[in-house]
Amino acid sequence: MEDVQIIKEIKAHPFSGSAFPDETRDYIEELYKRYYSQCYNISRYYGMKKHDAEEVVQDSFIKVLKRIGSFDDSRPFKPYLFKIVLNTVRDKYRENFKHSHASIDSLLDEPSEEQQILIDSFHTKSLFHSIIIKMPEKVKEVVLLRNFSGLLIEEISEVAGVGRRQIHNLLNKGYEIIKRGLEEENK
């Protein structure tokens, strides 16, 4: 079933009180399972711990469901979802670093030494991951959307709020960073 059909079904049977009708629950769960992995990976590559990344996905879908009534189902759903995911990730960062008294802006641009340690601790899975997380914010956003959301260039352009040409430039820049990082590691 296409996303648009699922969204229409959910909109046709909105929640009352705190509960959705059973049939709507099935559609929501289908949507949740369909995009969970992509949303989760984007959150993880942004430096979230496992628990925080899971919360980001849950919170993102809750936002989607609460706003589903005002969603224009003639438009593609995925860009809408990943825009919410990216905003939720940023909100989560602000929440986490508010408690650690760190600046989100500095984290999202050039990581400090302290943040580097933090990032390393988040992403020890591979060197590859650590390269992505050090990327400038906009480059990282585009690279992750391109590789984990399954969005088309046009859709990424919509989510990122930049033109398609700019998306290509950001992707090229991102891939160059990755290649350079891998080469340096191999020296």
Task: Return residues touching other proteins (CB under 8 A).
Answer: 15, 17-19, 25, 29, 32-33, 36-37, 40-41, 44-45, 50, 53-55, 57-59, 61-62, 65-66, 125-126, 128-129, 132, 143, 146-148, 171-172, 175, 178-179, 182-183, 186
Provide the minimum distance between the beta carbon of 83 and other proteins in the complex, in angstroms, as a whole number.
Answer: 20
CA distance 164 to 148: 18
> Whose Cβ is closer to other proteins: residue 8's or residue 50's?
50
Measuring CA to CA, how many Å separate 141 from each of 8, 53, 83, 163? 29, 16, 10, 14
- Output the smallest distance, CB 141 to other proteins, in A: 14
Query: Rounded CA gap, 178 and 129, in Å?
Result: 9
Bridge partner residues of 16 (DSSP): 19
Residue 74 or 126 having the CB closest to other proteins:
126
Q: How far is the CB of 133 from other proteins (least distance, A)?
A: 12
For residues 37 and 16, the answer to whether their CB atoms sit within 8 Å is no
55, exposed or middle or buried, with CB in 10 Å at 0-12, 13-18, 19+?
A: middle
**Spatial separation of the C-alpha atoms in residues 148 and 141, rounded to whole Å:** 10
Least separation in angstroms between residue 175's CB and other proteins is 5
Least Å distance between CB 20 and other proteins? 9
Question: φ and ψ at 6, to 5 degrees?
Answer: -60, -45
